[in-house]
Every structure is written in structure tokens, then in C-alpha cells.
Amino acid sequence: MEMENTGKVVTRFAPSPTGHMHAGSYRTAFFAYLFAKRHDGKFILRIEDTDKERSKEEYTQEIFNVFEKIGISYDEKYIQSENLERHKEVLQKLISEDKAYISREEAKDGSGIIKDIIRFRNPGKSVTFDDLIRGPITTDTTDLGDFVLAKNIDEPLFHLAVVVDDHDEGVNHVIRAEEHIANTPRQILIHEALGFDIPKYAHLPLVLAPDKTKMSKRKGAIPVVDYLDMGYLPEALLNAICLCGWNPGTEQEIFSREELEKVFDLDKVQKAGAVFGQDKLDWFNREYIKKLSQKEFWDIAHHGLYGSIVNDTEEDREILKKLEPLIRERMTKFSDMQNFFGKADGSTVGEFDYFFVKPKIDLSMLIWKGLKIENPSDSDGWIKKTKEYLKEIHSRLEKLENWDYESIKASIWDYAEQEGRGAVLWPMRVALSGREKSPDPFEISSILGKEETLKRLK
């Protein structure tokens, strides 16, 4: 399967489906995709599943699913294990031309078993390639010795398989992580031995964890699929990952996928490692949540209401609509919805439960801690004063015709200023919410509606 070199940019992403992939892996994928799009080229996804023991179909499907959710499409898809016969054919060719040879060696596991290993006959020369990010890199390949190409004729290894597949699939720009720099001289030697055109290479700097160490699965890096499951928006993830170690040289930070396709290029990729931090991802996600229409917001958020105290009634839906600005203001990701509304079975309590269920009031909490009365020794004086405030608030609100935030605030504010804001507004807020911490009482009242507000104050 040899493909004609058309001169068009062809990139690839070639993951091994041996585990969940984190942001560092997907950044390589997205950069390869964006580079191809920027140059009107082709992007290939190749699943390198030749590690039979560790490769799993579930990880392959996860890669497809993440690409689909984030909106990254590929022009062609390949499964490396399906190319085995082609790899064996090339091995035989190298052996027949004495560019590789069969070496009978004792297994390294101490078993004493003799195996036929296929090694590349290294010419031992200096190899230089011009990395598109780092510039010229020169290696004396003599130190590499005659490196292994295959465990046996039926089990080609990485270096051979990747060279053959890149050639056959027309890949002419290999964009990958910097850990592969050491592999490049070997692969160039194999390209030359087979008479293949050598692709251009770009080795991306590391994506670092917040502690500045290399991001890795072993150190607990969060898989990208988990971020999606937590309710991070695909657009925010793409944006955050692509701005990790790259920027267009402007102040712009929010980019749609279409915008990234137009402006991305490798000349703006920094040479040093870049930190992928949760705080920055949270910021991106909040920015994208702000941009959602009301319908888009609830289409995503509604599943967080399942099993909560919120019922599918017109009354509860109306309260949710009024609560939306408060929710958006506090939300970082859509899994946060579970924190806003407690479980219907009472097993958990939500921040906004009191909008849907009348709160139980701790009477001692109603009294403002800074409240002053004429006779502090009068144990009932504190209660009487607080009752007085609540009755006056009730009276003023009862007469109110326009029930909105500004009107509610205007009807009470002068009284609160006169008597003391804390003394008046604290018991009002506790009476409505039953909480020490909540939005201000005018906002709670405007959302609850006049009838429910007056009931709770009564």
C-alpha cells in the first residue's frame, strides 16, 4: 500500500490504546490536526495497537469518542495491527538486502531460551534533521549499535512499523512529543535504507503538571475523557489544551475550533514545557458557560437535576429560570449542578434547596449578632426586636405591587439604613433561606415570588 506523494501536508496522530489519555497526548493530536487544517492538508488517525497484551478496545473507542465530542475530525483512519503483512514484507526486504539480519540471542528474562531477533545493520553515521520547532539536531548513530527491528519475523516493533506506516499513508509531517527525539535518528536510518522520503519532524515540548513535572498517567494526570464526564465543555477543553505552550502572539485567549484552524502554526509553539493547570481550564470553562444560550445551558444542565429535590413542574421550572444567573455565576463545570440541589431522599443538601422546599428555621439564628437593644438583660428583648423588624418588612412587602429585585430593595432599604442593615436584613434572609450564607434577601424574594416570601416571613 504505497501512496503517491502529492505535496500536500499530511499529519497523523498515532496513539497506543493502552490506557486513558491525558491533556498532553491530546495536545499532540490537536496540534497535528490544526497544522493540517491550516495548510489545507490531511489529518490521519492511526491506532497503534501492536502491543497485544496492553492494548484494549475500550481505550480505542474512548479516543474516537473524545475526538467526536471535541469536534476533531480525521480524513483517514488506520489500525496498525492490520498492516502486519506489509511490515513482514518490508522486514524480509531489509534482510534480503543485508540491511537487517537475524540474530540468535538468549532471552533477557533469564529463561535461557534462544530467540531469533531481527536487528538493523547500522551504518554508524551522523544524522541531522531540521526540527520545525527546535532547529537542526545532529546525532552520531554509532552509539545506537545494531538496534532491534522485530522480536521475530512475525512481531515487528515500533521503529519499523511507524516508518512503514508513515510512508504508506503519505505522512510527510510528523508532529509528536519531545520524548521521541531520541527515536528520530533510528527512524531516519530505516527510511534511508528503504529508499523512503524522510518526513519533516516537529517535536513538541512537554506538557507539565502544576508541580512542573512531566504530566503522566502514573502521577495521576486526569484523563481528558474524565474532564468531559465532569461537565467541562468540549470547546473549553480544546481551547485550554491548545493554548498550553502555544499562542498566536496576541492578547486573544478565547478561540473557536474554526478560528484555531485559521491561525495555528508551529512557529508560535514555545520550546519550553508548559503547565496544564486546573485553574486555567476552570477559567476557560466559565467563559464558555457564559456564552451559552438559555436553551443550550439547560440542555446540558438538566441531567444534573435527576434525583434532586427539583420536580418537573411549571412552578419549579419557573424558579429554575430565575435561578439561572446565580447558577451560572457559581458554576465551574456542569457536575456542579449536583451541589446546587440536594437529593430528593434527603441524603445530601444543596446550596439552593430552600427555593424548592420550605426551610426549617433555627430561631436563634434569626437574631443578628450585632443587634443592640435598650435593656440587654431582657432575655425576650432580642426576640421582640427581631419580630418587630420582620413584621415591618412583611408589611412593606405586602403593599408592593411590582415584584422585582429593585422594587423589593427600594421598599426596605430606607428602613434597613435607619435601623441598621444587619439587624434588619439578616433575619429577613434567614427567614427566607434558613441559611447563614445565601444570596441577598432581595434576590431570594424576587425568585420565590410574593406569596411564598410573605408566607416565610409570617
C-alpha cell at 228: 468531559
Summarised one tens digit per residue, pLDDT across range 192-201 is 999 999 999 9
Residue 6 has pLDDT above 70, yes or no: no
Q: Return the pLDDT at 338.
A: 86
Which carries the bigger pLDDT value, residue 1 or residue 369? Answer: 369
Distance (Å, rounded) from C-alpha 148 to C-alpha 141? 14
Please give the single-letter amino acid code of residue 18: T
Domain-located, residue 182:
no
* 368 plus 452 within the same structural domain: yes
* 341 plus 426 within the same structural domain: no
CB 28 within 8 Å of CB 36? no
* 382 plus 433 within the same structural domain: yes
Domain-located, residue 311:
yes
Domain-located, residue 400:
yes
* 434 plus 374 within the same structural domain: yes
* 399 plus 424 within the same structural domain: yes
Distance (Å, rounded) from C-alpha 452 to C-alpha 444? 10
Summarised one tens digit per residue, pLDDT across range 303-349 is 888 888 998 899 999 999 999 999 999 999 999 998 899 888 888 88
- CB burial of 155-187 (b: ≥16 within 10 Å; e: otherwise) equals ebbbbbbbbbbbbbbbbbbbbbbbebbeebbbb
CA-closest candidate to residue 33, choices 264, 220, 366, 206: 264
C-alpha cell at 211: 508541580
Distance (Å, rounded) from C-alpha 195 to C-alpha 108? 33
Q: Return the pLDDT at 69.
A: 96
Residue 428 has pLDDT above 90, yes or no: yes
Q: pTM for the full model?
A: 0.88
Ramachandran quadrant class, 3 (left: phi over 0; alpha: psi -120 to 50; beta: rest) = beta
Domain-located, residue 119:
no
Distance (Å, rounded) from C-alpha 15 to C-alpha 60? 9
Domain-located, residue 57:
no
Residue 3 has pLDDT above 80, yes or no: no
Q: What percent of the chain has pLDDT over 90?
A: 79
* 335 plus 400 within the same structural domain: no
Average pLDDT score, the chain: 92
User: Pick from 354, 388, 420: which residue ends a domain?
Assistant: 354
User: Pick from 294, 323, 354: which residue ends a domain?
Assistant: 354
Summarised one tens digit per residue, pLDDT across range 254-301 is 999 999 999 999 999 999 999 998 899 999 999 999 999 999 999 999
Distance (Å, rounded) from C-alpha 454 to C-alpha 411? 14
Domain-located, residue 85:
no
CB 432 within 8 Å of CB 448? yes
CA dihedral over 362, 367, 368, 369, signed as positive or negative = negative
Looking up residue 427, the CATH number of its domain turns out to be 1.10.10.350
CA dihedral over 229, 16, 43, 254, signed as positive or negative = positive
* 333 plus 393 within the same structural domain: no
Domain-located, residue 73:
no
The domain total for the chain is 2
Q: Return the pLDDT at 377.
A: 67
User: Pick from 332, 354, 376: which residue ends a domain?
Assistant: 354
What order do you get walking across the sheet with 10-13 strand by strand? 10-13, 42-47, 76-79
Summarised one tens digit per residue, pLDDT across range 360-376 is 988 888 888 877 776 66
Q: Return the pLDDT at 4.
A: 44
Element (H, E) at 426: helix 421-433
Residue range 394-418: average pLDDT?
96
* 373 plus 434 within the same structural domain: yes
CB 241 within 8 Å of CB 26? yes
Long-range contacts of 49-54 (CB under 8 A, 24+ apart): 49/16, 49/17, 49/79, 49/80, 49/81, 50/80, 50/81, 50/84, 50/156, 50/157, 50/158, 50/161, 51/16, 51/18, 52/81, 54/16, 54/18, 54/19
Distance (Å, rounded) from C-alpha 46 to C-alpha 419? 72
Residue range 69-78: average pLDDT?
96
Distance (Å, rounded) from C-alpha 216 to C-alpha 69? 23
The three state secondary structure string of 354-388 is: HHCCCCCCCHHHHCCCCCCCCCCCCCCHHHHHHHH
Which region among 21-35, 121-135, 201-215, 396-410 has the lowest average model confidence (pLDDT)? 201-215
Q: What is the dihedral of CA 161, 168, 202, 77, to 10 degrees?
A: -90
CA-closest candidate to residue 415, choices 427, 405, 428, 424: 424
Residue range 408-437: average pLDDT?
94
CA-closest candidate to residue 371, choices 358, 357, 384, 362: 384
* 327 plus 385 within the same structural domain: no
Domain-located, residue 404:
yes
The strand pairing partners of 137, in sequence order, are: 129
* 350 plus 433 within the same structural domain: no
* 308 plus 327 within the same structural domain: yes
Instruction: Specify the DSSP class assigned to residue 81.
Output: G
Domain ranges, residue 438: 363-457
* 337 plus 386 within the same structural domain: no
The strand pairing partners of 246, in sequence order, are: 269
CA-closest candidate to residue 12, choices 67, 75, 61: 75
